[in-house]
Structures are given as structure tokens and as C-alpha cells.
Structure 1
């Protein structure tokens, strides 16, 4: 289905004379801006049309679009009234889909009222971050060499009492060598798997056996571990609200569809490619 009437091109719209609404005691979405054979067009109709314009049109100052939008609605209403045939199936189906989607969105909007209250947000925040973020952080150092034999020799030197940072400065081929092999704080998923597994298996202050990764052979020391501190509520408010609303929507949809009488005929023989054959609707 193709749109029978499109918004005037941007340059043409920009050339239209702009006349603001006459001063009124109160301008609302119900304010009538035109009447076509007794059918009112309101400011609300214009608002909806503007809200659904392609993004490139919204780069144009709204004052230059105002008259063009109103003219389009007038033309569409005149054409609608003059149509006395039978709407194409694609038109009827589009209207049904649009109504279904808008009414479903309205139901969700109503349902979400009162979901993300301050109390609910605070409870979710406290539940999630009662013990910090719950995410373990690790502070480790390593010495990177080319062979397992070199790594084993370094371990023997460390066992004799040599300082890890000093050995790293003189022996490590990695970029952290000059800083004593320190990697700072990191969490799960930030290091290659083999290295991460070795770190997580260590006690604080302990040194690993040789660990091979794609970068070479490592001698790893776990300096310290901790639970990350909880972020401030305002830092995660948006995330918490989204999660509360998403869960509420899922629960509501499941409840509504669970109570509905839904019949599903066997359509296993339907070729999914039929969805691309839009010409069948005409």
C-alpha cells in the first residue's frame, strides 16, 4: 500500500506564508483550526501529524511547517469525504492494525501509572545494592614472558623472596612492566578467560603457576579483591524505572493473554515468504 498524499516538499512548505492562530483565551489540542464540510480539524490533529513526521522535516523551523501541515489535513479530509468507493483491503487492515497498536499502547500506559513510584524505586534500589553492587572487583599484577620455562623461573625467584613489582619491572615484556606489572581494578569479563580464571582462583597476596594466554605466559599475583561500592540512586534511577516497567508490562501481558480465549489454527503449512507478497492484498 502506498500513501496517496505526502507532505509537501520541504522547500515548498518553507515558502508558505505562516499565520499564527488568532489570540484566544485558551489554545488547547481541542482548538478548531479548520472545518471541512462540517468536519472539524483540531490543533491536536496537527500535533499528531507533526509528531509523526520524518526526522528530516523536523530540522525545519516549526513555524515554516505550520501552514503546510494544516493544508495537508484539509486536503486529506476533503479527499476522504469525496471517496465513496470500497476501501482497499490493505487500507482496512492498516486501520485495524493501527487501532490495535494504539489501544494496546493506551492499555500499557494506563497500567504503568503508579508502577515506578518513589517507594518502589527505593525498594528495588535497596534490594539490588544492599551489599554494594554485588559484583566482585579484583586488583592484580602480572609478569608477562614468552615461554613457560621463563615463567617458572620467575616463580622460583619470587619464592626466594624477591619483590614482585621489582621483578616485573626488569623481566615483564607487557606494557604494565614499568609500573610493576599492576593492572589496577577490574571485574569479570574484562580479561581474557584464562587470565581471569587464574585470578579468581587465587587468595589475596598469592602468586599463580604459569598461565598461558594468547599474549604469552603470565605469572599472576592477586593483590586485593572487594565488592564494588553501590552507585548513588540517581545514577541508576532510569535503569531501575525501566526494569520495573518492563517487568510490570511482561506480567500484565502474560496475565491478560493467559485469561484470554485464544484459538491457534494449525498454520504449519503456511510458507512464511507469503508475508512479502503484499500485492495479494490488492
Structure 2
């Protein structure tokens, strides 16, 4: 049993809470559940001290209402200035650019994700075909003979693609590459791809005025989370808690 000031949290309550905290091990799930219940109890206790209306049970519809009022009363949350938004915009231009456009052709050597032998064979063949292309063979001809993608009927061409049109593991590699034949096969859940980028049109940076509001919302939420975490930490330090050691927790609140 865990004691939080004058209130108790039973093992049954922790077991019931575990369903909301999936984790790799039962112990980790129990720790996360216990921490959540302790923090919730501390917040409710503090809210009652301030005269806010709080129901006795956790996870009720009133919780969000009292929590907002509690944070408003006790936590100072600064708002991002225009200068801070401009600085974030300047330091993170890649976040505010439209997607580049790539003109791509490929050969897909299919291999099931769970078939290790098939994937080894597909990678080996892909490397051999890349060597053939480097020696002057034509990608369209190899695509017709080897590719498992319907694009083999159009010389391996995928046309113009932008971010979000293909699977993430494929995109990560091709959008960071320069035009030309990629010297190594690109692995995806479908197998191995031999990729040729015919053309790359860089994305355009959106003007600051178009993203200023989103930047402000992002920075304000980031500051809010940090301020609330620090507030919870202060409540924990000022409280009498037995049966749980926050020093053993890997919660972001404790970092």
C-alpha cells in the first residue's frame, strides 16, 4: 500500500490503473500506474486546499476542470514572444518547407520481412544489379526482367513523388539522397529497391507569417508541459509519500 500524506492507494487500485499504462514488463506497468495515481492524488489534495471542487474518485469528468483551475492558480506559464518564434523559425527551416519533389525510377526485389534467407538473396541480387547499371546497363530493361513492382511496365518509373506518398523507411533514404543512381540498395518492408533519382526539386520555405501561429502554439505547449512537470515535482518534494520511491522512476517528470 502507498501512503500519500493522509490518503492511501491500495494495491487493487494500482492493478486497475495498470491497463492505462502498457509497458514491456509488469513491474514497469505497475510503477507507471502507481506514479500516475500518486500524482493524481497530490493534485486533488492541493486543489482541495485551495477550495476547488474535486470529486473523490480519480479519472472522473471533473478532474480536467479542477486541474485546469489548479494550474491557472498555481503555475506561471510564460507565452512565447514573437522574437522567440522567429528564432525557432530561423533555426529549424526544414520544419517549415514544403516537401521536395523527386522524379524516381526503381527496381523492387521483393522479400517478405520475416524471411531472412529471401532478404539476404534479394540484397545480394540488388547489389549485383547496381553494378550492372554502373557498367552501363539500362534500368528499364532490368526493371522489366527483375522488378516485382507494377512500375516495371513503365520502365520502373514511379513518376514524381513527395513526402507521404511512400513508406517511411523508403522515404528517409531517398529524400536525403542526391540525384543519380543510389550506390546501395534501399531496404523497405517490401524488400530491396534499386533507386535512380532523375530529378530533385527542393521544397520551398514557407513565410514566417504563415507558420507564426503554429510555432507559438508549439512553443507554448512545450513550456506548459515543462512548467507543469516542475510544479508536480515541487508537490512531490513537499509531501509525505511512503511505499513508492520516485528516485527509482524513469518518468520524464523526474528528469
TM range (shorter): 0.3 to 0.5
Higher relative contact order (CA closer than 8 Å, sequence separation 6+): 2
